Structure 1
Amino acid sequence: MTSTRTRPLLAAAAAVAVALTGAVTTVAAAPSAEAAPSTVRVISHNLEKKTSALNKVLDLADSDTVPGKEILLLQEVCGDMLPALRKLGATSFNPRRTGKCSGEDTRLGEAAVWTGSGATALEPQPLLTKGEHAYGLACVDLKKDGRSIRACSTHLVAGGKDETEFRGRLTRKIRSVTNDWISPSRTVIVGGDFNARPGFEAMDAMYADGKGAQGKFREIAQTAGAGNDAQSGRWTCGRLTDGRDTRRKIDYVFVSKSGSRDGGGSERTMASPSNHRILFGALPLG
């Protein structure tokens, strides 16, 4: 197709991005749902510091698969990737730690982008710190179909059971911060790599519906099709190799329940050069 937006592919990995493809998996939704005026499209992905994964996202954002403007919520973004993102639109960046990327800007963090016009990139919202990591939210403010939206990208602590308590502290901090943002006139979206599966205690502070729910958000899988209360969704990380199945959902896109509908959305995933799959779809606005 002819590109509808001007944005540079990062030349060093362009050939890789073209060569790498992946099948798309979908939760069934009405074909017209993504085109409805009361939805907003979101793409969330942990780039794993890979330029080729960023190119995959840029290709998806500029394709017929995801037509129009969208919110990009990206994790493990290297500082040298920011110029390409800023050419797409307003871009907020939370530098979580330094010295983890190659190139001139070695900062590693999370980014939120609105590829349309009229958005405002906000200063990073700090959450908690641990060791060299400054966990936070990278957020942009935008308007879609007359509704004010604040969209944020985040990445929670990795690790096993030894980090369970701290992940719970992070999600409770997100709940505390976003409680002050959610209002009848503002919808809040939070997406990213939470390093926890649905049903894990750390996720209770996010979900508004389902077992153990103590939050104010619907997850994108809960808006797909007719909507549901299940805490589930497409797998976003891992693989099936030699009979060993490590596939799991640890990436999410949440939307405030008060500013959304329980049906009419869509949830899709796509393979990427990253060890995470791209999570994308449409969120139905209330």
Structure 2
Amino acid sequence: MYDVASRSDAGPVASTGCPSGRLQRADGEIRLAFAGAGGGVREAYQQGSAKVRFPRNYEADGMIEAVLLNTAGGVTGGDRFRISAEAGERSAAVLTTQAAEKAYRSTGGEARIDVTLVAASGARLGWLPQETILFDGARLARTLTLSCDGCAEALLCEAVVLGRTASGERVRQGRLTDRWRIRRGDRLVYADDLRIDGAAWEHLAGPATLAGGRAFASLLLVAGDAGSRLDRARSALDGAGVRAGASAWDGLLSARVVAGDGAGLRQALCRLFAATGWAAPRSWMI
């Protein structure tokens, strides 16, 4: 279906050389490039525990959906994943995941996930992974970097669920850091950092933080007309049964959402995606 130049680490499996008693760490990398105006996937590279699939799209919007997989089954201390995607002029693509990512208890060190996105003029590029489930004692550091042309549009979202709510698990220790950097042309237009560590976990039930919520998300729309979509976004959140807020300025629309569980958060995000002119990835519906 797509004209793809695909390369992967298909060579022979070498000995890990890990000293006795040390666990092997997962490592993976994905590099994608999308051609403009219906040109499809120009490059798809996968290495290690990171894989990518391209399901068929029968819709008329021409949006390419890249579904990322972690064959390691989750991340833990010492794991490293790198994801990069470049959307060419007038291309349309969304990156998502096959399932919720799981960040397991760390026995030492932190897991890292670094995402780098580039959107050229007229491109539409989405970063909409399913939620990350944070286990008690997990240590996870993530970065999300976007460089886009002034005429490009991008939708970014990261969602986190604290513990396995169905089994009553509570997250009482660990570390989570998120670092977002958004550039339009050569100018830094958005910078956001989140860190939950140490005693901070004890304060998440307060009214100024999660107020007892177990799931939360950050969303950012980068578009020249982002401000015109603010009223629709607020209306969608008002009827979603969550604690949320949204604001817009200078071609950016930012929203924060807090829910009692992952299911409630997902429903609210799907409403929010639609209100901002995007559809939830099909893998979210499975």
Structure with more relative contact order (C-alpha pairs < 8 Å, separation 6 or more) = 1
The structure carrying a bigger helix percent of its residues is 1
Q: TM-score range by the shorter chain?
A: 0.3 to 0.5
TM-score, normalised by the number of residues in structure 2: 0.32
Which protein shows a greater Rg?
2
The structure carrying a bigger strand percent of its residues is 2
